[in-house]
Structure 1
Amino acid sequence: MPKPKTKILLNPKAHAQVTLSEYVTAIAWSPQDKSLAAATASGEVAMINTAIASSNLQTLQEPTELAVNCLAFSADGRWLAAGGQSGKIQVWDLAANPRAIAATIDVGNTWIEHIQWHPTRPEFAFGLGKYVQVWSAATLDIVTTLHFEQSTVLAIAWHPSGDYLTIGGDRGVKNWSCADWYEDPIIFEFPTAAAKILWNSSGNYLVCSTLDNLVVVLQWLGTDFDPSPWRMQGFPGKIRSFDWSTHPSPLLASASGADVVIWERHADLNVGWEGEVIKGHNNMVGHVAFDSTSNYLASADANGRVAIWHNNGEWLQALETPMSEITALQWQGRKLAAANGDGDVMIWTESSQGKGFR
């Protein structure tokens, strides 16, 4: 096991920790303040004020015994949307005093698996079987309905410009222009299904994981995808997580089995993307995430281990956690939040040593 360096980035002991009713299914940082939202397998939705060490907890939704699968803030932090097994999406207006549900979207018996807010507008996209709908908080109404056709929608991602909405499923991805929802989408076909998708921050690359354990990187040329994608293979199992750095020439981190790989595009286009495997886990890694500077990478596994790495793959430190599977992991600046299968939500803050890091 790697030994920690003398300097550390985060205080190993959590600055704040709260315990919710059940397995935590999702967490999300507010983009505008120090609040963290969390949801559970029992349907609970709560807001945590992370500025307070005792963690002031506000329950937005009591347990319903129906899991909340996804949770997301709007870009301006005013709206919080949550959906799951109930077939309903609840949208809270956090500017209201007290915070209140502004809308409930009822889709019947369909589970809600994906909610993605537009990068700038108060609109979110959500999956509905073979369809994706876009809902506006400005009008409290549906903007458009898109038909993926080939299969149930498996993944949704907005292009960082906000000009396109990308949907993944069986046989590839489809890219719709927000300027004209009725225009035919740009299609990139795979022989298998795109299970997860994520744009990098500049919108030049879209990474997709497939059901046959490949990672495919597509280059966006402005109006279409380059017809020759890069394919990475040889993973020990399902690709459970990936994340992009924000560098001009971005790094890509992926997790499969107990392995974390950091990928970098080679200057020679014929070489493609080169990966370095970093070893610090002995159980399945479910989450990887770069911090806001992209100088550091966090990874978390089924044993409850959370590790911090330099972006070159060099080991930095481990954090103190209960021994339970990490179910969610997310940075905000130099704060890191994680949650686990026992309902614990933990927040770590920057150490005095970490303030010297760049």
Structure 2
Amino acid sequence: MEIDKGLGEIERMARSITGSKDISFSDIIGQSRAMIGAIDFAQKIAPTDAVVALRGDSGTGKELFARAIHEASGRSGSFVAINCAALPEQLLESELFGYVDGAFTGGCKGGKPGLFERTEQGTLFLDEIAEMPMPSQAKILRALQGRRVRRIGGAREIPYDARLITATNRDLEALVKKKAFRSDLYYRINVLPIHIPPLTQRRDDIPLLVEHFLFHLSSRLGRSARCLSPQAMEKMIHYPWPGNIRELKHVVERAHILCETEEIGEQAILFGSQTEEWITGCRVPQSGSGNTPLRVQMDIHERRILVHALKDAASIREAARRLGISHPTVLAKMKKHDIRMVRNITDGRTSDKAKINI
């Protein structure tokens, strides 16, 4: 299981190295005072080589900030991101520092350079650094102090030219007091801390974010532009958003899928368990004949939502994510409604070829 998890993270790093869309500060949406302050400070320190520590709750956009800082830094190399919590200790260190030939069983013949070496004149983003094991923290500290790395199993120290940006949603100061994070590494990486505010501190930005996500969803799906009703927007603004922007994006996606009118009403704005209740028919819209049994109406409505979501998504897993329910739940409901997915040969996307059993 750990190996599979590690391989998934390595694939994500490979996509990052080969190049994703460049992100600039103009791509960061926000006009609230808290957000403008964070953006202004990030722009000011971007051209320097100092270590940046991004702090903020999950889903606030720390990697977006990291990419914007890299883009504004003037560094010619790649932006490479690695999640320190996603890899077991040995695999994490082999990816960061590399290894020599014969360092361990299963390694590449001739050895392999690590990310510090491969991110030449670029930016190395260490996400969730607070989850890094203590032995790995010591090696990161040594690399930062000497601007050199030593491959696993090797004796030679190799210089590197990569700017380091770290991120965490944890209270590093509290972890240092508990001796769960090295104090010397804390002082080394906390040179330029930037706090990314949660949505609860920037509610004025919620309409801008909603408009942004709706525009891109409509463009991607080839639909006419959509907007939220005043009541729906009010509901969004007053929600506590524990998942921050990531959660907001998913809520907007679900509403875009579930609502068929150009104006999205508040009944389509669903949070947490409300999604499961709605999709299973506990909140059936007032439509259809009054002579139709309630159970039949619920099943018809549930099937329509599933087919709609599956047609728009690139995979069943993506449809599950957009609907806010688990992958096994979607599979069970597909079986219940006799929905079968086939692969579209022309573009690789899935399409629905279901037969309705009456």
TM-score tier, shorter chain, comes to under 0.3
> Which structure shows the bigger proportion of residues in strand conformation?
1
> Which structure shows the bigger proportion of residues in helix conformation?
2
State the TM-score, normalized to the length of structure 1: 0.26
State the TM-score, normalized to the length of structure 2: 0.26
